[in-house]
Each structure stands twice: as structure tokens, then as C-alpha cells.
Amino acid sequence: MPNASIRNSSFILLALAAGCSNSSNEPTGTPSASAVRCAAIAASVEEAGFGSKVEVTCNDTYALIKSDTYPDHELMTGIVGTNEQVPVPAVDYSSPIRLAPSPAAAVTTIDAALGVAVNGVPMYDYSAGGELSQQELSTHHPEVDTVELGQLDNCGGHAGRGDDYHYHASPTCMIAQMANAGDDAIIGWAFDGYPIYGNNNPDGSTIDPGTLGLCNHQADESFGFRYHTSAGWPYTIQCLVGEIDPDMLPRVPPLRSANGMERPPGTPPQGGVEELVFAPEGDARVMRYRYGGEDYYISYEPSDTANCYLFEMRTVTNHGVVESGEYCR
């Protein structure tokens, strides 16, 4: 990819100056295509204002975007269809972004993250039902739609089975925080190496109906392809058009107790809950909500063991019984 094809030349200058390596050992002044893509990825994080929280390093094949997946914006508030999971930092979560993307023979669906936002938070498809089959991509399935089920907070995300926070729709609160917020700002990267933008084209023009492909993507003269978020279904990236290495894809497993038992999954209370709020309370982070006129909560705080947390909870899933325990990453 020619250097001039990168949409914003400041990507190259900023990230190359920050130390993105030229693994091909080309002469100074002629960065390789991989170094240019590394620069673009690193600078998209820096220019958005998340460089102090998100680390970007590159090897010969990938840019690795490392974070704890826990953003600095409001979390969980606005959820009605709670799955009774809470957002716990996932230390050293690493998202591999291909530096030399190439189109695949067929699109890929995944039952986990498809990419990562520039604040380090994973980005999933819209489904609450696991991996979408390729046959399901062209049809809306409201029965697993996280938006229609009321499972997402005011920022487009929620906590999943791993008690990890991630987005299933446009990360609106993150976009509002971005120092370079605008249609031309990259809001994330898919694992196949292509960038993710907001609802409009980078030049600010509206995307005409029918333009975007199955993965909420279209061709891009600078990057080959680009993905978009959208106001309506599928809301965000829902598959990958480029080649990926499945063995490299990150996943966040459920928290486990000292004896290896997983923290039990929550079950969405029928009809949804009321007044759900997630907020710090002293050293703890607490999600409170009401259901059937009763108060419920899940509280956790760091224990004396690294990456472990002391939980106390009274949930609908557990029929209102107060339970406690230590769970670890």
C-alpha cells in the first residue's frame, strides 16, 4: 500500500515518531507497508486521546492493542434486560490487528469479539445468542438483538459471560470522549486489519441505503475496506471480510474461584428490571436494580490476591439469596 494512500498523514508521522518499527529493515525514510499500517493504528489511539490507557505495539504481522477493557465512561446504566453480569477489568487483554490485511474467500463470523475500539474495549456483533451463522447475516434476528432486548447500556455496551465489558452497538459514550471526534476519526479496528468508522463516510457524507455489505463494510481507497456503525440493524460490524488467524483471537473466560469453579452465569429476569445503576461505592463497584418490587445487587471489590475480587450478590437468578465468594481472572 503506498504511503500516500493513508487517509491522514499525521498517522504516519505521529506513530513512526513514537517508535513503530520497520521490521523489513528498509532504508530510513521508506517505511514498509506494515510499518505504515502500524503507524495508522497507533495514531488512531493517540489522536483519540486514549494513549495513556491503551498500549499499541507491533511485530512483523500484528499491531497488538493492549488494555484492561474497562472504559472511563458511564457503564451499565440504562440496561433493562440484564444478564446479571458485571464489568470487571480484563488485565492485559490484547487485540491482534493484522498489519497486511487481505480479503478472504468468505466472510468470518465469531462468537466473541470481532475487533476493538480505540479505547481498548472489544467490539462484538449485535447478537446476544452467540455466533451468527453466515446464513443469518442477511436477516435481522430480533430474538437475539441486544438493542431490542434492552441488554445494552446508554453507551452501546454491557458485561458478558466473562464479566467483561464490550460493545454490541455504536460506542456513543466513547465517541463523545474522543479528542478527534468526527466522521473522519477511526473509532476502532477489526481483527482482519481494516478500520471501523461511525455512521457516516469519513468525508461526512451520508451512507446511502444498500451501500454497506453483510459485515457493515464497504470498499475504502486508503485501507482497502472499512467497517461502519449504523443507527439501525446490524448497528456495527457483524463479520469479517479479511483473512484472520483464529488461534490469535482473544477471549475472556468466566471468572473462577480458587477451586477452579466458574462464577455462575446470570439468567435475564423475565420482563426486564428497573432502575439499574452501576457505580462505585467505597472500594467496591456495585450494580443495583429492582425486580418485582424487590432490590437486588452485585458488588465486587479487589481482594488481597492479584486480579481477584470479593463478590457479594443478591440476584434474581439466585432467588434473592445473598451469596459471596472470591473470583479471579
Half-sphere exposure of 155 (CA within 13 A, CB side): 23
Contacts of 1 (CB under 8 A, 6+ apart): 33, 36, 37, 224
The pLDDT of residue 294: 97
Series of mean pLDDT values for 10-residue runs along the chain (329 residues): 42 47 51 93 98 97 97 97 96 96 96 97 95 92 96 97 97 98 98 98 97 98 97 97 95 93 92 97 98 98 96 97 96
The pLDDT of residue 2: 32
Contacts of 257 (CB under 8 A, 6+ apart): 263, 325, 326, 327, 328
The one-letter code for the residue type at 142 is P
The pLDDT of residue 13: 47
In the 8-state DSSP scheme, what is residue 267?
-
Kindly report whether the global pTM for this prediction surpasses the value 0.75: yes
The C-alpha cell that represents 318 in the structure block = 439466585
Q: Per residue in 177-225, pLDDT tens? A: 999 999 999 999 999 999 999 999 999 999 999 999 999 999 999 999 9
| 255, 88 Cβ separation under 8 angstroms | yes
Reply yes or no: is the peptide bond before residue 234 cis, omega within 30 of 0. yes
Q: How far apart are CA 203 and CA 56, in angstroms?
A: 26
Torsion angles phi and psi, residue 271, rounded to 5 = 85, -5
| 241, 225 Cβ separation under 8 angstroms | yes
The pLDDT of residue 258: 85
The pLDDT of residue 29: 61
Nearest by Cα to 169 from 153, 186, 182, 185: 153
Q: Rounded to an integer, what is the distance from CA 43 to the centroid of its chain?
A: 18
